[in-house]
Amino acid sequence: MFIYTNQLQIIMKNKELLVQDIGLKPYKEAFVIQTGLFDQLKQIKIDNKHRDDPKPTANYLLFTEHPHVYTLGKSGKENHLLIGPDERKKYQVDFIKTNRGGDITYHGPGQIVGYPIIDLDNFDLDILAYMRLLETVIIDVLSEYGIKGERSEGETGVWLDADQATARKICAMGVKTSRWITMHGFALNVDVDLSYFKHIIPCGIRQKGVTSMQKELGYIPDKNRLKQTIVDKFAKHFGAKIKKSPIVK
């Protein structure tokens, strides 16, 4: 597969996906790692406009877990955070404004956070198709555990009982793109402490709840197996080739 640029250059599309589990990382540290890869890929695309031998871009999927933190997207409303600095100190939770899309959400122990840093040109995707495909990956993963994930019209992420009064979100999503390079991604609630969501209006949506795999299943699924299932479904739906996957121990 090839990419044809305005200069009639031909760039081989790279569908290899390098998967890395960076473990428990404070949000700001993970952000620095993401940004480094994101900027690197952007620079390759900028430089390719002036190269006779354009370079292919790489694709990454980082898994991480964050200590307690509320993050607010660039289009979010700060009044969707319902507690002040003193209460945040009591609950040992940070508040960080970030550059992804979307509103406020919570990250904490018991979530699997995935950050795909990929070149959408490598997969023939625009941003809307990319978001829908990310949702498909998580829906397919949940189905392996007997959980029926769904989309909610006009709302990003993966939900249960999306069109009912019992609607609840199980996976939040938010991304940033530049030159078709992505960063940020998804946060799947596995056995997260759901009480932290009571101090925000999650994703700015008042009328719907939040849930976790543990709450729905009655047990905590093995996280290494769960991460490997995400990798497998990502490879399936994106047509990606896994280059390295240090997930299964």
Which residues are annotated as catalytic?
203
Farthest CA pair distance, the chain: 58
Question: What is the DSSP secondary-structure string of 147-170?
Answer: ---EEETTEEEEEESTTSTT-EEE
Rounded CA gap, 123 and 144, in Å? 25
Smallest CA-to-CA distance from 157 within 182, 139, 179, 180 is with: 139
Give, for 131, the enclosing helix (H) or strand (E): helix 127-143
Alpha helices (H) along 27-76: 27-48
> Tokens 């695309």 sit at which residue?
45
Q: 241 near 221, Cβ under 8 Å?
A: no
Give, for 210, the enclosing helix (H) or strand (E): strand 209-210
Q: What long-range pairs does 154-162 form, CB within 8 A, spacing at least 24? A: 155/203, 155/205, 156/102, 156/131, 156/203, 157/186, 157/203, 159/208, 160/211, 160/216
DSSP percent split of the chain into helix, strand, coil, nearest 5: 35, 30, 35
